[in-house]
A and B are shown apart, each in its own frame.
Chain A
Amino acid sequence: MSVKQASVHAKWIIGRVIGTKMKKTTKVRVTRLVLDPYLLKFYNKRKTYFAHDALEQCSVGDVVLLKALLERRSKHVKHELSEIVYKVGQLVDPLTGKKVAGCQFLEPLTESTKNTDVSLTTKLEQLNITASASPPSS
């Protein structure tokens, strides 16, 4: 085999961080939807994975994207931290880029009102100038 295959079946995984008490390793719980054969309904089936993060930047409750390592780092660690998707307490709305908590924005969506007042008055002055300068159309 010329191309190195990853040793795990799942290449990319998303899950919640459960524990960070190990050095440079996080415990991540991954839920997949599994079909119950009789009820024909999907239920979350959990599985815990260990992931390596060199900078120890995860806290419990983050949603994290893991990438499969090419070789197993140790007996249980087969993935590494790719990026923190949603950091607990510091959520950023991907559409607007503003900080968010629950269903509310923490930062105001529009700019602060003082600036808008200043720009409005300057714009009015400009309008007066142009009104006096332009001759009345015949």
Chain B
Amino acid sequence: PMKGRFPIRRTLEYLQKGEVVFKNSVKIMTVNYNTHGDLSEGARKFVFFNIPQIQYKNPWVQIMMFKNMTPSPFLRFYLGDGEQVLVDVEGKDYKEITQHVKKILGKSDKVLEAEALAKMELSNPANFGPKKYFLRECMSEVEGQVPHPGFVPLPKEMTGKYRAKLAAVSDD
């Protein structure tokens, strides 16, 4: 088993399941919370569970955590045009916080689906080429097609020398 308190947070599957994808205008996210006290319990859980997911999905957003600076916990977002968004988090549950943040500054499901579609359209699985860009390099890699004679010897009827011999015999 994995080491740590909730090691599921450190799995790729958990990170990829992050819901919040920020809009392009969000540049910085700041979380102020307290280590003790019931009011910032939700904020602490948010930082513990959801910050890895958010940072994984938004690698270009700078996220900073500040502990025990103010008595009340809050989130602060700095957008690209100098605008700031303050979100009060006192007493809220961590799931409520993620839903709220997703509603304010997250890309909606429709936008995400459209982006995924556009990305899929760029790469056509029917094309062949180098492994870096395409799925397969040669038709022989597909199951059910004639494999390369380097790996499996061809049946006698398909070899060039047998066919040449047959043609010579039939001519005579």
Per-position contact with B for A20-50: 1 when CB-CB < 8 Å, else 0? 0000000000111101000111100000000
Residue of A nearest to B36 (CB): A103
Q: Does A74 sit at the interface, judged by CB under 8 A? A: no
- A95:B74 contact, CB within 8 angstroms: yes
Give the number of residues in B that approach A within 8 Å (Cβ atoms): 30
Between A39, A85, A96, the greatest number of chain B beta carbons within 10 A of the residue's beta carbon is seen for A85
Check A94 for interface membership: any CB of B closer than 8 A: yes
Tell me which of B30, B86, B88 has the highest count of chain A C-beta atoms within 10 A of its own C-beta.
B30
Residues of chain B lying within 8 A (CB to CB) of residue A63 = 66
Least CB separation from A33: chain B residue = B55
Which residues from chain A contact B12 at a C-beta distance below 8 Å?
40
Q: Which of A9-17, A119-127, A129-137 contacts B (4 or more CB under 8 A)?
A: A9-17
Q: What distance in Å separates the Cβ of A45 from its nearest Cβ neighbour in chain B?
A: 11
A91 to B68, CA, bound (A): 12
Most buried by B among A13, A63, A82, A94: A94
Q: List residues 22-75 of chain B with CB under 8 A from any CB of chain A.
A: 27-28, 30, 34, 36-37, 51-52, 55-56, 62-64, 66, 68-72, 74
Q: Given known contacts A42-B51, A86-B69, A103-B68, is B76 in contact with A33 (CB within 8 Å)?
A: no
- B15 on interface, CB distance cutoff 8 Å: yes
Contact B71 A93 (CB under 8 A): yes
Q: Which of A13, A40, A104 has the most CB of B within 10 A?
A: A40
Q: Could you write out 11 A-B pairs with CB less than 8 Å apart?
A: A35-B55, A40-B12, A40-B15, A42-B52, A93-B71, A93-B72, A94-B70, A95-B70, A95-B74, A100-B71, A102-B68
6 other A-B residue contacts (CB within 8 Å) besides A14-B64, A91-B69, A95-B70: A11-B80, A12-B27, A40-B11, A65-B78, A95-B74, A95-B88
